[in-house]
């Protein structure tokens, strides 16, 4: 078998703010050969998540920082092309930490999940949007911590994004009134028209506290927060009694590394409310439960997904930067091979 070449984007310098051209380098290396208990996966789609930006900083998190010279970490999907691992056969589709590269070695571990069914019949876009870590994050955050009840008011920030769009739809399915927050009229229209939210606040063009008073006259029972910063503070100032605040991300601070403290956290006390962080990986053993519920809803036409797709490994950095500047709706992906 001829040696496969593996194009990779490696980190050369830690970025400040957006990732600059000098911060990364596209390199070509031979694809690694799987050892015993390993398999080789060819990446189909690299998932572009805001969390990936945090891994480029030299800060401890739930995963260690990407080292200088290392491939940039990202969750993706691909096809097993060689296997010396009992868990995977050639042709299987798996989700794993592909990184920004064309080939990656996988093992039978926490980060790698085979997708059931014949590989050529797998809807890889649906897996990246719903039946993978993104969908699981929305599901466990909303159903495990948010627990929306019929008639309650739920607010979701970054509502046009991959996680927010699914989280809000789950709250709608639970019978809640759902208000999104997103940046710009294009995203807000998609949040209401495509994802079925009851309303969407355009934080770039509206006064968020005033809009929250208008759209949430009885207060906010559940807030699914992807952004932190002044928007979190505004929603905390509008909590209803026994509200639940789901901390899923802090996009507003990923470029600056600064987290302004939300002064309205005291409302958690006044309103007997809860604010909780979570990581879907903690619920790894229950992913099948999440995917079964999500699939049922999709089959009933209650849950939809959209993808914003870039082409070619050269696009990975632009796609990542675009999460902070762009007009992406739904899950942002970079296609590396045909699916």
- Of the two residues 274 and 293, which places its CB atom closer to its own copies in the complex? 274
Q: Which of 4, 18, 265, 304 binds its own copies (CB under 8 A)?
A: 265
With CB under 8 A as the contact rule, the residue among 40, 138, 158, 275 that binds its own copies is 275
C-alpha separations of 304 from 164, 214, 246 in Å: 12, 27, 22
Q: Which pair of tokens denotes residue 338? A: 């045909």
Separation between Cα atoms, residue 176 and residue 173, nearest integer Å? 7
Q: Which residue has the tokens 């949007």?
A: 129
Kindly tell me which of 111 and 278 has the beta carbon lying closer to its own copies.
Answer: 278
Is 144 a binding residue for its own copies by CB under 8 A? The answer is no
Q: Is 266 in the site for its own copies (CB under 8 A)?
A: yes
Site for its own copies in 171-200 (CB under 8 A): none
| CA torsion angle 179 182 188 192 (round to 10) | -30
196/230 with CB nearer its own copies: 230
Q: Name the minimum Å distance from CB 17 to its own copies.
A: 18
Q: Which of 228, 294, 319, 329 binds its own copies (CB under 8 A)?
A: 228
- Contact indicator for 200, 192 with CB cutoff of 8 Å: yes
Piece in contact with its own copies (CB under 8 A), picked from 101-109, 154-162, 271-279, 296-304: 271-279
Among 249, 330, 331, 333, binds its own copies (CB under 8 A): 249
Tokens 């995917």, located at residue: 291
Contact of 42 with 78, CB cutoff 8 Å: yes
Taking the complex as a whole, the smallest distance from the CB of residue 245 to its own copies amounts, in Å, to 9
Asked if 259 touches its own copies (CB under 8 A), the answer is yes
Least Cβ distance, residue 276 to its own copies (angstroms): 4
| The binder of its own copies chosen from 49, 92, 233, 298 (CB under 8 A) | 233
Least distance between its own copies and beta carbon 281 (Å): 9
Near its own copies by CB under 8 A, which window of 120-128, 171-179, 244-252, 295-303? 244-252
Task: List the structure tokens of 223.
Answer: 């807030």
Q: Provide the minimum distance between the beta carbon of 247 and its own copies in the complex, in angstroms, as a whole number.
A: 4
The only residue of 253, 309, 322, 326 in contact with its own copies, by rule CB under 8 A: 253
Sole binder of its own copies in the list 21, 22, 269, 338 (CB under 8 A):
269
Does residue 116 belong to the site contacting its own copies (CB under 8 A)? no
Taking the complex as a whole, the smallest distance from the CB of residue 237 to its own copies amounts, in Å, to: 11
CB of 267 to its own copies, least distance (A): 8
Among residue numbers 42 through 81, which ones bind its own copies (CB under 8 A)?
61-62
* Interface positions with its own copies (CB under 8 A): 61-62, 228, 233, 247-250, 253, 258-279, 282
């Amino acid at each position: 078998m001829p040696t496969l070449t593996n194009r990779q984007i490696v980190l050369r310098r830690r970025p400040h703010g957006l990732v600059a051209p000098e911060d990364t380098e596209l390199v070509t290396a031979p694809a690694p050969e799987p050892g015993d208990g390993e398999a080789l996966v060819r990446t189909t789609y690299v998932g572009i998540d805001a969390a990936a930006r945090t891994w480029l900083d030299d800060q401890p998190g739930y995963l260690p920082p990407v080292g200088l010279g290392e491939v940039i970490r990202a969750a993706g999907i691909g096809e097993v092309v060689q296997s010396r691992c009992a868990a995977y056969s050639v042709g299987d589709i798996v989700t794993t930490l592909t990184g920004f590269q064309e080939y990656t070695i996988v093992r039978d571990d926490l980060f790698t999940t085979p997708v059931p069914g014949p590989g050529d019949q797998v809807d890889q876009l649906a897996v990246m949007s719903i039946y993978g870590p993104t969908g699981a994050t929305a599901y466990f955050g909303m159903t495990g911590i948010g627990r929306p009840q019929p008639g309650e008011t739920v607010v979701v920030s970054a509502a046009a994004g991959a996680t927010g769009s699914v989280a809000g739809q789950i709250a709608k399915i639970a019978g809640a009134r759902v208000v999104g927050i997103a940046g710009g009229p294009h995203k807000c229209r998609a949040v209401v028209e495509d994802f079925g939210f009851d309303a969407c606040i355009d934080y770039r063009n509206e006064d968020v506290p005033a809009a929250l008073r208008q759209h949430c006259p009885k207060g906010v029972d559940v807030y699914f927060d992807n952004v932190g910063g002044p928007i979190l503070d505004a929603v905390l100032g509008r909590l209803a009694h026994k509200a639940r605040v789901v901390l899923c991300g802090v996009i507003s601070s990923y470029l600056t590394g600064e987290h302004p403290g939300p002064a309205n956290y005291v409302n958690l006390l006044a309103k007997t409310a809860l604010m909780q962080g979570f990581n879907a990986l903690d619920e790894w053993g229950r992913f099948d439960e999440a995917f079964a519920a999500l699939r049922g809803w999709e089959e009933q036409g209650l849950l939809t997904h959209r993808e914003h797709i870039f082409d070619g490994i050269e696009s990975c950095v632009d796609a990542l930067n675009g999460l902070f500047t762009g007009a992406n709706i739904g899950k942002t992906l970079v296609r590396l091979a045909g699916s």
